[in-house]
């Protein structure tokens, strides 16, 4: 007996589907039988746009994981101070007390100096370059290697794009104006400023405005126009320098306890990575959408003076940055390894940007 081609294909499809259905339940049951209930802490306070709430935020990430996993993985989010203090995430996740933390890797500079390269580097990669390095340039593999011995896994979960130099009670007109200045500034830029006589302070977001208003500090860097306006920083200082030399990008770090991560089945690991990547894209898009209007409002309605740093100041900052980075890289092997890899990729990416992005930006 013979079959027509259509009948043959139909019979084969039914047979194959039946076989898959008969074989699938064991696999589905194996993956669906176990649920995971985790906790995520955060370095930023309750209600913070981008860092806690809103498109591409950590709470949005938790919702995405819940939806993509069909409820098999639920993550309870706790803003800074709700479960642990703002900057205790590294120790809490490393010890296994908490499964996840959202923050920035440069907060852990005192414990892992090389971690700073996975947030931002002064005069380093922009956001396009940073994503290229992390996703396809070997950056993620270096991050994995750096954190493995600390019992951690990390990946990008957000990005603000280029940030503003910050708010100053008095304008910076020459490099001498930095000497003796008291400024809130985290990360590698803080080390650069220190070399130029700045008294650097690392304060959680919620403490910046009162410190600036009371004169405890003379200047402060946070994020960008939308976030800074919400915190009221323009009410404490009117000079807003715009040159984002210190943070040409800023990566939100999703930190995970390594043992907990390895307990997840492969499909849930894939869901976590996919949700983190989605938030990385969405958070940047949100920042790019809201900052222009916020800056316009600050200048036109709040009396803010927004100007770039003088070229001579930027040149000196660049010179000192190179010295600071080289000195830091020479202090331990893992920092040297990350530093050299980052700089090599920066130079490669810059050569491409010089003939792609830069000529276009010069037209606008």
Do 143 and 198 lie in a common domain?
no
Number of separate domains in the chain? 2
Q: 154: which strand partners?
A: 255
The two tokens of residue 167 are 């708010």
Nearest to 329 by CA among 171, 191, 155: 191
Q: Is residue 354 part of a domain?
A: no
Do 233 and 133 lie in a common domain?
no
Tell me the CB-side half-sphere exposure of residue 313, using CA atoms within 13 A: 22
Do 218 and 174 lie in a common domain?
yes
Instruction: Grade residue 13 by pLDDT with cuts at 50, 70 and 90.
Output: very low
Do 79 and 110 lie in a common domain?
yes
pLDDT surpasses 80 at 200: yes
Q: Which tens digit of pLDDT belongs to each residue from 151-182?
A: 999 999 999 999 999 999 999 999 999 999 99
Nearest to 185 by CA among 283, 116, 98, 257: 116
Q: What is the dihedral of CA 82, 83, 84, 85, to 10 degrees?
A: 10
Give me the residue label for tokens 């790019």: 288
CATH number at residue 174: 3.40.190.10
Q: Is residue 101 part of a domain?
A: yes
User: What is the DSSP annotation of 110-137?
Assistant: TT-GGGGGGT--TT---HHHHHHHHHHS
Q: Is residue 183 part of a domain?
A: yes
Do 190 and 71 lie in a common domain?
no
Q: Is residue 346 part of a domain?
A: no
Do 198 and 54 lie in a common domain?
no
Q: What is the pLDDT of residue 149?
A: 96
3-state percent breakdown (helix, strand, coil) of the chain, nearest 5: 55, 15, 30
Q: What is the pLDDT of residue 30?
A: 43
Do 239 and 264 lie in a common domain?
no
Do 74 and 144 lie in a common domain?
yes
Do 243 and 255 lie in a common domain?
no
Do 46 and 173 lie in a common domain?
no
Distance CA 340, CA 326 (A): 10
Kindly state the DSSP code that residue 70 receives in the 8-state scheme: T
Q: Is residue 24 part of a domain?
A: no
Do 126 and 269 lie in a common domain?
yes
Q: Is residue 51 part of a domain?
A: yes
Q: Which tens digit of pLDDT belongs to each residue from 91-142?
A: 999 999 999 999 999 999 999 999 999 999 999 999 999 999 999 999 999 9
Distance CA 188, CA 170 (A): 23
- Provide the residue range defining the domain that includes 87: 35-159+250-288
- Count of Cβ atoms closer than 10 Å to residue 27 Cβ: 10
Do residues 41 and 102 touch, judged by C-beta distance below 8 A?
Answer: yes
Q: Is residue 241 part of a domain?
A: yes
Do 77 and 149 lie in a common domain?
yes
Q: Is residue 260 part of a domain?
A: yes
Q: Which tens digit of pLDDT belongs to each residue from 42-98?
A: 999 999 999 999 999 999 999 999 999 999 999 999 999 999 999 999 999 999 999
Distance CA 77, CA 60 (A): 10
CATH number at residue 255: 3.40.190.170
Tell me the CB-side half-sphere exposure of residue 114, using CA atoms within 13 A: 23
Look up the pTM and report it. 0.88
């Amino acid at each position: 007996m013979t079959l027509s081609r259509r009948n043959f294909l139909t019979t084969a499809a039914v047979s194959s589907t039946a076989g898959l259905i008969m074989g699938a339940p064991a696999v589905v049951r194996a993956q669906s039988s176990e649920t995971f209930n985790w906790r995520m802490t955060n370095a930023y306070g309750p209600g913070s746009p981008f860092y806690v709430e809103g498109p591409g935020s950590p709470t949005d990430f938790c919702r995405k994981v819940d939806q993509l996993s069909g409820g098999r993985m639920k993550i309870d989010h706790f803003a800074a101070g709700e479960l642990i203090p703002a900057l205790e995430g590294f120790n809490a996740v490393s010890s296994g007390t908490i499964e996840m933390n959202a923050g920035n890797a440069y907060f852990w500079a005192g414990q892992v100096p090389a971690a700073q390269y996975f947030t931002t580097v002064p005069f380093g990669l922009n956001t396009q370059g940073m994503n290229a390095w992390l996703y396809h340039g070997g950056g993620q593999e270096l991050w994995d290697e750096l954190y493995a011995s600390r019992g951690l896994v990390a990946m990008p979960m957000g990005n603000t794009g280029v940030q503003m130099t910050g708010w100053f009670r008095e304008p910076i007109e020459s490099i001498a104006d930095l000497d003796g200045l008291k400024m809130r500034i985290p990360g590698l830029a803080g080390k650069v400023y220190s070399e130029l006589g700045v008294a650097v302070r690392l304060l959680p977001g919620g403490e910046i405005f009162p410190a600036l208003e009371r004169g405890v500090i003379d200047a402060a860097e946070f994020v960008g126009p939308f976030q800074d306006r919400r915190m009221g920083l323009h009410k404490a200082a009117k000079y807003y320098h715009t040159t984002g030399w210190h943070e040409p990008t800023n990566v939100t770090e999703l930190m995970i306890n390594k043992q907990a991560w390895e307990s997840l089945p492969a499909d849930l690991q894939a869901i976590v990575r996919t949700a983190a990547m989605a938030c990385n894209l969405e958070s940047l898009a949100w920042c790019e959408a809201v900052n222009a209007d916020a800056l316009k409002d600050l200048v036109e309605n709040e009396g803010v003076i927004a100007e770039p740093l003088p070229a001579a100041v930027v040149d000196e900052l660049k010179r000192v940055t190179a010295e600071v980075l080289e000195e830091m890289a020479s202090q331990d092997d893992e920092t040297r390894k990350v530093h050299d890899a980052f700089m090599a990729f920066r130079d490669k990416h810059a050569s491409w940007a010089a003939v792609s992005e830069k000529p276009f930006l010069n037209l606008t």
